[in-house]
Chains A and B, each alone.
Chain A
């Protein structure tokens, strides 16, 4: 028991956590930005899956991971713009559109796997151009920092940077303020002269890029594989993390780390025949608890305020 724990709280597991978290983080951030405009990005799972598929396909055909990553971003944009038009112009329920889209993505990638990549179930190209890993050679590989920061991919750094960039944009810039006002009180935003429709399209656009990149990292990041239904709930986990963090980029990051850690430690525990599913459940349960608690607090505050006389 003790050595299981010892192995859990090790730098290697932390390192693995960071790596596993990255795609979830990118998708979570894509959900954060739309949530600020009060659009629930439930289709994030599908965008991630499409990003993974197109990422590996284009990297394979072009021989360059840059093309692959770009393809992931582009398909993310196309997908999210489609959902945006359906929701904003044609008044479709964003939830229905997102869910239908997720199912479409699974079917389409399966179809694409067969038709474009001539494979069934799994695609394993040789010598695929993947996202480069960064080796900080000035660090001693045996030191604490050295082992913690060992061999992260470009996107790992990118994702973490994006947490702070997004935080700044949302809370410190004019655009961010406008987006937040659209999400909180669309009528008030309109009366202040803000083009609410445009803002919604803009957040969906950015969301598509982030989600697509997150997906691309799955297939051309640390692996060079595409498996049927590769996203496997990680898109939903990103959305859950967004709720966990109250749509704040930094708290959301914390949420994604919890999801990442649960997966990383789950992998270790499996080696010891310990049921990993219990660990995997925890982040979801935690998010439910946090949601319930925050609404409980809001209710308590409101009842207190109503006792004005």
Chain B
């Protein structure tokens, strides 16, 4: 049986390597490493706009990471969170723009609930295909993401277009707006919703019978049958929750950040979320820190691009290198073994 290694070593090691590579690139481009990292850090935290942007980036990354982690708990890789996010977003945008006569509490709740339901329903398709026919969910969800992408694009450019030149839907009514703070940034109170949802999810999985059943149905279905858990049903429910959270993420972006559905607003956000979850080895408790870290990096990268000669893409590169290194579990073991064997050889010589 595979033993679960101490993942902290691996993450730290990868971080250091990514840091070193980053320093090399920065120096090669003629900038001072400390200055650049300084700007990067201040760019993430210094001042309302910068810190607010970090918080703004945090919410969708965090929620999509949680969405993916939940799906892994039932042993399904829901790459389709991106689709749920897009569809949830446009559902919220439409509800926000066209439903009138509601007070803010109801309007926002309604829009988010619809986003959640749409996101969950979207995840039902790969779920049922996987459970009934054992169709590989990785393939199907990636394909369906494109379907969602084109479909929402059709809706934005077509029936729900705001006809203002920019590819977006009508602006939502004020009653549907989630309030912002730390202006002029786009940090909004959606972060509170995200945090509440997080704790609810944590509670469900650690303290309820329901959560126990879900956790114990994915990984070992024979065992579940043996102890009386309907693992098929539980896995579908797990996927629905995953899609629901994805939809919620999209809804918050629309209601809190943009105020409408803007074509291309999410450039693979859910993929980043998935990668964050993978770095955290899909452990719910480790996701917030990593999501925050990545959000801070992305926010800092904006300042970095403005005040230095280092392009923003450098940060994206380093993030992907970081993930690659974390994924290569084996590397840490190989290096450790190399060091051990070297020591043994030297001791043998004495």
Contacts and interface: CB of A to CB of B under 8 A. Distances in A.
B323 interface: yes
Contacts of A104: 316-317, 320-321, 324
A281 interface: yes
Nearest to B320: A104
B275 interface: yes
B28 to A, nearest CB: 9
Given A100-B323, A278-B150, A90 B330 contact: yes
A284 B146 CA distance: 7
Contacts of A115: 29, 311
Contact of B313 (A101, A108, A287): A108
A143 B84 CA distance: 49
B169 interface: no
B320 A278 contact: no
Contacts of B151: 277, 281
A144 B319 CA distance: 52
Interface in B78-133: 129, 133
A110 B321 contact: no
A107 B327 contact: no
A42 B135 CA distance: 17
Contacts of B144: 284, 288
B291 to A, nearest CB: 16
A92 B329 contact: yes
A103 B316 contact: yes
Interface string A87-122: 001111101110111011011101100110000000
Contacts of A280: 146, 150
B19 to A, nearest CB: 16
A146 to B, nearest CB: 35
Interface string A216-251: 000000000000000001001101100100000000
B138 A287 contact: no
A47 to B, nearest CB: 14
A107 B271 CA distance: 14
A186 to B, nearest CB: 18
A125 interface: no
A296 interface: yes
The secondary structure that dominates the B interface is helix
A158 interface: no
Contact of A284 (B147, B158, B330): B147
Contacts of B316: 103-104, 106-107, 110
A2 interface: no
Contact of A114 (B154, B268, B313): B313
A90 B53 CA distance: 37
A168 B268 CA distance: 38
B26 to A, nearest CB: 12
Given A96-B323, A278-B154, A86 B328 contact: yes
A292 B329 contact: no
Given A90-B330, A114-B311, A243-B139, A292 B321 contact: no
A92 B319 contact: no
Contact of B138 (A92, A95, A277): A95
Contacts of A110: 311-313, 316
Interface residues of B, number: 45
B142 A92 contact: no
B329 A91 contact: yes
A96 B311 contact: no
A197 interface: no
B330 A92 contact: yes
A107 B317 contact: yes
Contact of B143 (A89, A92, A284): A284
Contacts of B17: none
A299 interface: yes
Contacts of A114: 311, 313
A291 interface: yes
Contacts of B201: none
Given A107-B313, A111-B313, A284-B147, A275 B154 contact: yes
A280 B329 CA distance: 38
A278 B275 CA distance: 30
B102 to A, nearest CB: 31
A90 B151 CA distance: 39
11 contacts: A104-B321, A107-B313, A108-B317, A110-B316, A111-B317, A240-B146, A277-B150, A278-B154, A281-B154, A292-B135, A299-B133
Interface of B: 29, 77, 129, 133-136, 138-140, 142-144, 146-147, 150-151, 153-154, 157-158, 268, 271-272, 274-275, 278, 311-317, 319-321, 323-324, 327-331, 334
Given A100-B324, A288-B144, 6 more contacts: A92-B327, A97-B324, A239-B142, A280-B150, A281-B147, A296-B133
